[in-house]
Structure formats: C-alpha cells, structure tokens
Structure 1
C-alpha cells in the first residue's frame, strides 16, 4: 500500500550538476527548512507510524487491525526490519519527531530474506523475479505518505533524493513495491490499468505477476481503445512518477480490502532510471547534499 503523493509534474533540469562528494552523514539532502534522512530512534519511527495512520486511516479510510486502530498507528511486523526514510521540516516547533512531514519505508533484500521475505510477496509472486536476478540486490519501497500541506515538488524531490542516495549507499540494482489506485474496483480504473498493461508491462527477465489467488485482470480494454493522454491523466500521481523514472508494471492487479486500494507491482531496475533524473539528482546523489 502506498499513498499517491501529489497531482503535479516535477520539472527536472537535464543539465549535469556540479559533482559533489557523496553525503556521508545520515542526512541525504536539504531544500530550505526541509531535510531527508533515516529515522534515528524508536520515537521517530513511532511518529512516522502516526503520520501513516493520519493519512491512510483518517484520510483514505483504511481499516487496520483493532490494536493499530486503538493506538492510532499504522504498524506491522515489517516496521521492525525496515529503514524509515523521513522528510523533516526543521522550522516546525517541537522535538524532531514533531517535525516529520513525510515518510517512505525501505527494505533491503538481504534484510528481508533474513526475516521471511518482502511485504510485496504478500500480494505478488516475486520469487521467480528474484531468482532470475540472484546476483542483484533488490530494495522494496513502500508505505509512502506525506501530510497534505507538504504535497509539493520540494517534498517529492527530497523523498526521491533519499531513495536514490540510499540505493547508491547499499549498491541496489532494482527497486520493487506496491503502488495503489484508490478503491477496490479495478474496473473503475479500466483505462489506466489497460494502458499500463499494454505499454509498460514487465516482460522477460523482469516479468512478475500478482499471486494466482489474488490476481485481478488489468487488460480491461483493447489497445486501440486506450487513449494514452487520457490514461495518464487518470493515473495516480505516484504511479506516473514511477513511470517517468523508467519503471515497469507487473502483470495483474491485487485488491487490498484493508487499505481500500487496488495495487499494482512496480519494477524499477536502477539501470533503467531515466538519464535526466540521474543528471538531476546526481550520479552520486549530490544534488541536494548538505
């Protein structure tokens, strides 16, 4: 489950920025009073879980387990093994945990395999994909959310700065994760889902599908009936962002009743990331480095 961050394009320069030394501290980048870094302690992880609750439950009407609803925290077992990427507004009053305005959950393959696997495997059959790339390191992106007031270009740029810097730091070859359409009726998104199926379906060595017991058809309209411009306009912003980066989409969607979403699988090899994004953030993730 991931939140669609904002309904706007992020304009990127294609001019190569000056080379800077890679960020070595836990702060991956800064823009004004905003900075992106990993959570430093349990209090900050708890604050990220509270932020996720505000967005997923209070805004998007997800239904979490009773204990999570009572605690007003979106929390599951994966939180204990993930790194939690944050966007923090240092201009806000209070302790650091009071300044968290956005978050992403990051899970490296070596950590996932030591603890039972990826969250994505709950919905998608990714084992054949991982097996075909046994020499590559995968990273899972998930639980992205941002407070409404901060759904801006700057926040999204910092989230991707953090993702890119983290991937470089850990030698990641490919990113995977679930991205969401609102609601539990794939037919309501027939145009966008059909566009994804016909144009950016992950094939051959990168192919992966929804689990057979959860599989919902994405091929809901014939190719000749799909208007690409209208399909992109109907696309959730986060999924459009992944496509701009160079992502592919797995075969079949999954309905997540608890989160009130229809999920698709995102597959993004780092070698496929668009050159203009590499230029913008820097081959060493130095674009917004402090």
Structure 2
C-alpha cells in the first residue's frame, strides 16, 4: 500500500472510467441481512473510505497524509477511477454510513491504463506480466478490509462472490493485488513467507517480482524446518483465502512503512481457480454477472 501514490495526480479518461450504478445490476450476492454490491455514489465511497481509515489507521497504525488523518478517511486519487465493492448489513438501522461493514477496491486494466497505471506498480514490477498476456484483461484487487465484528466466513464469502461476479461481468482473465502481513519486519513472518516462497511462487508466464529497489527476500527458513500447518496458521486469513482459490505469490516482499505492513503480490489467473470454488461462487454469482 505504498504511500507515495497517495498524492499522485491522475488524468481521467471519460471513456475508461469506473462503472457507476444506481441500484440496477450492481448487487452481486446476499447472505441473510448482508449483501455485496458496488458503491452507487460519492457518499457511499466516502463511507467506505471511513471504514478503511478505521481498519488501517485506528487498528493497524498506518500513517496517512495530514489531510487524510484530519478527515479520518483513507483516500487517494485511485479512488476516482476504481469501482468500490461493499458489504452492507441491511439489518443495521440508520444511514448507509453505519451499514457498510466491508469493502474492496477494484480496478480493471482498461481503466488503469487509461489513467496512469495500476496501484500495485509502485511496489511490484508488473509491466512484464501484462506484456506476456496481451490476450487477457487483468483486474487489480486492493484496500480489502472488514470491520472486526464482521470478520466471519459469510462476509469473506460475500466479498469473493462480489469479486467473482464482477470479474465475470467484465470478462477478466486474471486478478492480482497486494496482500499484507502486519508490521514492517519480514523476519517476524519468516515461517509464513518462506512457506509461500517455497510452495506458491509464481513461475513461467506468471512470473512477477517486487521492484528491485524494494525487494525483500521471502525465503528465510529452510524447507526442512517448516511445519506447513504452523506456517498456514501464521498467515492472515485473506492470504489463506487466496491460496485456497489457487493463487500464486510474487517473488519478493515489499515493506510499506506508511501502512505498517509487509506486502506480497497475489496473482490469481481465473482459469486456475479451483473447481469447488467456481461451483460455490459461480452458481450464485453467475446470476448477478450479466
């Protein structure tokens, strides 16, 4: 989540801007009182930015620019070109600001390239990856967060159902994005990072690495000293969720001092998502994808 891009100026292309819906075709799934859908207006995006601030700053001790800290919103210029996936709890009485309990930021390749590039490019050298797949459209996932009381299986399922339906709707060929470990010392996550490097590293046409000036070695513990069960239990739930879907991990981690995290790059080709998850999400999400 490198802070250097929080003040970057982007020129919006009116032809390639995010999808904005007004309640028609923007709901991607429901479980009980929860539903996942796209933000419909600036007010809902502002509310999502407030949720991000509560998680990233108040919980994870990120340090944002002065204006963001004053407004108590995590925002940057990418918010103007992204679609914002929400999880809304309709059982909460009150305004939308109280009902949004989770969010993801989605950026399609055509929109990114028309407006200055992908956010992840500030940490990872993704250009060679894109050039090796001219026949695929990539989708960047970012700023994932859920309020503490809603960090449950069904909330995560709804977020992934939303991502899947959105990818189907827009014909995406692969997803990628940064996933974060707490703290800025990779050694504190040596077991998990080493397991990822040794077992889930990108290869061949999906190879992608951290930018050379930011590269931090992930292979910190010999394979014979790693207990896979312990390594998996030491990973953030989001990273484990990506692995279950069939994701690969980029070569090298990046320390983000501003967000107080150690970031890895997730690469998830649509074609390799395991069949059980396509069946689980696709059967329902497909209804919302057209």
Task: Give your verdict on TM over 0.5.
Answer: yes
Q: Note closer, same or farther for the CA distance 1:223–1:210 as it changes in structure 2 (3 Å cut).
A: same
1:155-211 CA distance string (max 9 Å, x none): 111100100000000000000000011100001111111101110100110000000
Name the CA distance, whole Å, in 2 between partners of 1:96 and 1:56.
20
Structure of greater relative contact order (alpha carbons < 8 Å, 6+ residues apart): 1
Query: RMSD in angstroms over aligned alpha carbons?
Result: 1.5
- 2:183–2:262: 8 Å Cα contact kept in structure 1? yes
Q: Is the 8 A contact 1:161 1:285 kept in 2?
A: yes
Per mean C-alpha deviation after superposition, the further-off stretch among 266-275 and 221-230 is 221-230
- Between Structure 1 and Structure 2, how many residues are aligned? 268
5 Å-filtered alignment, 1:189-228, equals 189-228=189-228
Residue in 2 that maps onto 1:37: 37
Say which SS state the counterpart of residue 176 (structure 2) adopts.
strand
Other structure's SS at 2:136 match? coil
* TM-score, scaled to structure 2: 0.90
SS in 2 for 1:285: helix
Secondary structure at the aligned position of 1:265 is classed as: strand
Contact 1:281 1:287 in 2 (8 A): no
What is the CA–CA distance in structure 1 between the aligned matches of 2:49 and 2:164, rounded to whole Å? 22
Cα distance in 1 between the residues matched to 2:282 and 2:138? 21
Q: TM-score, normalised by structure 1?
A: 0.90
Determine the structure 2 residue equivalent to 1:74.
Answer: 74
Q: Unpaired segments of 5 or more residues in structure 2?
A: 3-23
1: CA distance, partners of 2:288 / 2:244:
20
Displacement of 1:282: 2.2
- Match of 1:46? 46
Q: Distance in 1 between matches of 2:217 and 2:205?
A: 21
Q: Which residue of 2 aligns with 1:141?
A: 141
